[in-house]
Amino acid sequence: MSADLFTPLELRGTELPNRIMVSPMCQYSCEARDGLPTDWHHTHLVSRAVGGAGLVMTEATAVEPRGRISPQDLGIWSDDHADALADITDSIRAQGSVPAIQLAHAGRKASTKRPWEGGDPITGDEGWETIAPSAEPYPHDAGAVPTREMTADDVAAVIDAFRDAAVRAREAGFRVAEIHAAHGYLLHEFLSPVTNHRTDAYGGGFEGRTRLLREIASTVREVWPDDDPLFVRISATDWLPDRDSWTVEDSIRLADDLAPLGVDLMDVSGGGIHPDQRIPSTGPGYQERYARRIKTETESDVAVGAVGGITTPEQADALIRNGRGDLAIVGREHLRDPYFALHAAKQLDRLDDVEVPPQYHRAF
């Protein structure tokens, strides 16, 4: 029997109760600019677990302070962060959902204001120097933050930061870790020839440009428990077809390289490396075709998650039933409707396959 949206997904020793994941979404809501979660993070994440999603992922959580997009981003660079996040993971698990964390470094896209304050680069005392594979700032209408080319020591320090973050994430109670290598942030900047002009072992051809991500995946896998899944989010394409850029073919090859290193799922997104990108469509399931290509063309058995424009239960269910992906990753629709998964179960006549909180039974 083929799987559908409410068929549990087994990854290693971890079972997701259904195929709906809350996509990582920055909340820009750390009040003291210290990367510590607030009541907002608790409410935001736990209410999506109450809403029935099988997996709830935190926003991009910075492995070092310099890796934050904005000063208000969440972080996991100290034991205090792990302690504070433990309350959230406990509450997510208590709802029968699996808590996941996205481990991130913003690279040259760090040091910006939050979107509702304009999103411009912060160039004064409040901002900081960013690091990237090459000393080229992200082109931004409002100027740019100074960007330094990473030295060999910087590369080693970033690998260490991801490893330490993974250790802390496990102590905090997360059961899935996702390495953020998409959307023009640091690891994507290494992958793409648009942003990586290094001449050392971390630049050049495909092997060199993918080296840092492969090393980080191996390092995280060494400290991440054998029973717990490891995801990697990529931009399947740079959407810059007219120049030497990252392509879907590169993504398929990358999936084949990451699977043997212990990566269990490719979370397939797109774009973000350069403002000149041309997105062919932002309609329903606009990135699904890339997930499907990776799923059908990879030689490994890595699982695939699709994200982008998934807004209806039927669409999410069809994705799984038709074998285009193993996990339906839902972002903005979860902001509109924290109970997306319970609504989906009701609409698809699958309420017997979800845990409706007893307090809400009369509503579903």
Among residues 229 and 308, whose Cβ is nearest to ligand FNR? 308
Least distance (Å) from ligand FNR to the CB of residue 201? 27
Among residues 123 and 311, whose Cβ is nearest to ligand FNR? 311
Give residues in contact with ligand FNR (CB under 6 A): 23-26, 59-60, 102, 180, 182-183, 233, 269, 307-310, 330-333
Q: What is the DSSP letter of 70?
A: S
CA distances from 46 to 24, 186, 335 (A): 13, 29, 13
- The residue nearest ligand FNR at its CB is 331
Residue (of 359, 29, 3, 57) closest to 232 by Cα position? 57
Residue 246's Cβ-side half-sphere holds a number of Cα atoms within 13 Å equal to 35
Least distance (Å) from ligand FNR to the CB of residue 247? 19
CB 162 within 8 A of CB 170: no
Among residues 5 and 60, whose Cβ is nearest to ligand FNR? 60
Among residues 50 and 60, whose Cβ is nearest to ligand FNR? 60
Cα angle 193-275-61, degrees, rounded to a multiple of 5 = 80
Q: Which residues pair with 75 in a beta bridge?
A: 62
Residue (of 269, 113, 303, 123) closest to 187 by Cα position? 269
Among residues 11 and 310, whose Cβ is nearest to ligand FNR? 310
Catalytic residue positions?
185
Residue (of 289, 290, 86) closest to 169 by Cα position? 86
Least distance (Å) from ligand FNR to the CB of residue 235? 9
Least distance (Å) from ligand FNR to the CB of residue 359? 27
Least distance (Å) from ligand FNR to the CB of residue 283? 10
Helix and strand element counts for the chain (H, E): 10, 12
Q: What is the DSSP letter of 349?
A: T
Least distance (Å) from ligand FNR to the CB of residue 330? 5
H or E element at residue 233: strand 230-235
Rounded Cα–Cα distance for residues 364 and 336 (Å): 18
CB 38 within 8 A of CB 29: yes
Could you please report the per-residue DSSP string of 32-64? TSSS---HHHHHHHHHHHHTT-SEEEEEEEESS
Among residues 255 and 356, whose Cβ is nearest to ligand FNR? 255
- 3-class state of residue 151 by DSSP: coil
Residue (of 105, 88, 84) closest to 97 by Cα position? 88
